[in-house]
Amino acid sequence: MVMPSQKIQQLKRIPQYTFFENLFANRLFGSAVWVFAGKLFSAIATVVINGLLARMLTPEELGVYFILLSIVGMAALVAQLGLGQVIVRQISSARGLQDCASIKPDIQFILLVVVIISCVVFFIGQTAWMGKIIHAVFQSQTINSNIFIPFLTVPFLALQTILAEGHRGFDDIPKATVFGGVSTNALLMSFLLGAFFCIAGMTLSQALVFTLIATVVSVVISFALFVKKVHAVSEKCNTVANYKAILSASYPLLVYSLMIFAVNQAPLWIIGSFLSEESVAYYGAALRLVQPITMPLLIVNAIVASKISEMHIRGKHAELERMLRSCATLAGVPSLILLFVFMFFSADVLAVVFGEKYRHANDLLIILCAGKILSVLAGSCGMLLIHTGNEKVLTVTSVIVGLLTVALSILLVQYGAVGIAIAVATGISIQNIILLIVGKAKVGIWTSMHINFFGIKKLL
């Protein structure tokens, strides 16, 4: 029999924390530190890498490099088949329901699918008709002659994302952070620094080889650690993978990923097709500087991804909304500060990072920054839909906005890269408004920042 005094002591042990108190009282704070450090390093490394490339390659070569990376990015998305977010949801949901039996077969199936599709994508990339398509779109012999190494990178790039998300599903945020891009960026930055100071020059093909090696090394280490983790969790489980659930959830996410790609990268292809490779370099430089603006939100998404599934399954919607809006507020404030710094000092920032010749891209940077404002304000609306079973709605929305962005880009390309930047900023803004409203309609949750800044002090 439990005495009243013992019940009181038990109640005292139950943590009655707000989200931010929990942030410092449990593993979430440690995860936040890891993700923040990883994203910060990746942002700095990306700036250094692009700055080194801009100084060692001509603007035309840098433009080709950006286009090739864009092609590889799209091919890797196809190879992933939308399974990056699915593996997080499968693992975190199984762990939340204490169903370890389904973890190992699901992971084996996902990895097998990604490897097979990656190999198919690689071989398609080497066919003559693919070469003709690329030449017809970009009218560049340089791109065609350097296409082999980028397509060889595709399987490893696809696996890099899948493995990192697998680590995240197990709540192993340190490994998810390190092998989700940090290790690759660190290796590539080291290679380029060595080339810059020792060789004092570099060719486009060498830059592509360095990118491939950095990716391969990172993936091999990540795979070894991930396999060890899976065996430790479910070595005695003999159930069959839930093929239907995995594939039915993956294809909407694939379409969503491709549409996000269309909003962000297809305009680069349009510039490469209608304008000069130098214009591609200027637009690509501005685009890469804009990416760190949403870094705090990416940190939030990386931390709360597995938490959304667990809290949604348990019906803790009020708590989930408080968590997402609180995170959006903390992530949004530094993002908005950085955004306005980039907008008011755009030419100087471009000159410092890429060199004086890239000052010409200041108008592009200002417009793209303006388009990111609503992304920051809306918070994790897309992540909410993905991890609450509303990926089909997300897909439809993304398809509509993606097609609108591409159409608008083609229409405005007559005004040069500035017209493309306006189209992209418009597409991003429309997409975030729609996703924010859809998230509220489907899940009953707002993910946007707390606009009442006087309440932030109380929130903290």
DSSP per-residue letters across 337-392: HHHHHHHHTHHHHHHHHH-GGGGGGHHHHHHHHHHHHHHHHH-SHHHHHHTTT-HH
| Three-state SS at 296 | helix
92 residue type, one letter: S
Question: Which token pair is 441?
Answer: 């309609």
pLDDT greater than 70 at residue 65: yes
- Both tokens of 454, joined, read 């006087």
- Please state, in angstroms and rounded to a whole number, the distance separating the CA atoms of residues 437 and 445: 9
Fill in the DSSP letter of residue 198. Answer: I
Q: Give the pLDDT of residue 250.
A: 79
454 within domain boundaries:
yes
- Whether 164 maps to a domain, the answer reads yes
- Collapsing DSSP to helix, strand or coil, 159 comes out as helix
**Domain total for the chain?**
1
Mean pLDDT calculated for residue range 406-428: 89
User: In sequence order, which residues have a C-beta less than 8 Å from that of residue 249 and are 6 or more positions away?
Assistant: 82, 86, 89, 389, 391
- Residue of 76 and 230 predicted with greater confidence: 76
User: In 389-401, which positions are buried (b, 16+ CB within 10 angstroms) versus exposed (e)?
Assistant: ebbbbbbbbbbeb
pLDDT at 25: 44
Give me the percent of the chain exceeding a pLDDT of 70: 85
Which pLDDT tens digit goes with each residue over 69-84? 888 988 998 898 888 8
Tens-place pLDDT, residues 113-159: 899 999 999 998 888 888 888 878 887 788 888 889 999 999 999 99
Q: From CA 224, how far away is CA 228, in angstroms rounded?
A: 6
**367 and 421 Cβ atoms separated by less than 8 Å:** yes
pLDDT confidence of residue 316: 79
Band (208; pLDDT cuts 50, 70, 90)? very high
Termini Cα distance of the chain:
41
Q: Does any domain span residue 13? A: no
Query: Is the model more confident about 389 or about 51?
Result: 51
What is the structure's pLDDT at 230? 80
| Domain assignment of residue 92, yes or no | yes
Residue 317 domain-assigned? Answer: yes
| Residue 400, domain extent | 18-459
Tell me phi and psi for residue 355, to 5 degrees: 115, 165
Indicate if the pLDDT at residue 100 is higher than 90: no
Cα(354)–Cα(288) distance, integer angstroms: 11
What pLDDT is stored for residue 297 in this prediction? 75
Q: Which residue has the tokens 């491939």?
A: 212
The stretch 156-181 carries a mean pLDDT of 88
Is 1 within the bounds of a domain? no
User: How many CB atoms are closer than 10 A to CB 145?
Assistant: 12
Instruction: Give yes or no for residue 397 having a pLDDT over 90.
Output: no
Q: Would you say 63 and 202 are in contact if contact means Cβ atoms under 8 Å apart?
A: no
Residue 171 lies in a domain: yes
Lowest mean pLDDT among 91-95, 173-177, 232-236, 342-346: 232-236
pTM: 0.71
- Section 350-376 average pLDDT: 85
257 found inside a domain? yes
Q: Which residues of 181-211 are buried (b: 16+ CB within 10 A; e: fewer)?
A: bbbbbbbbbebbeebbeeeeebebebbbebb
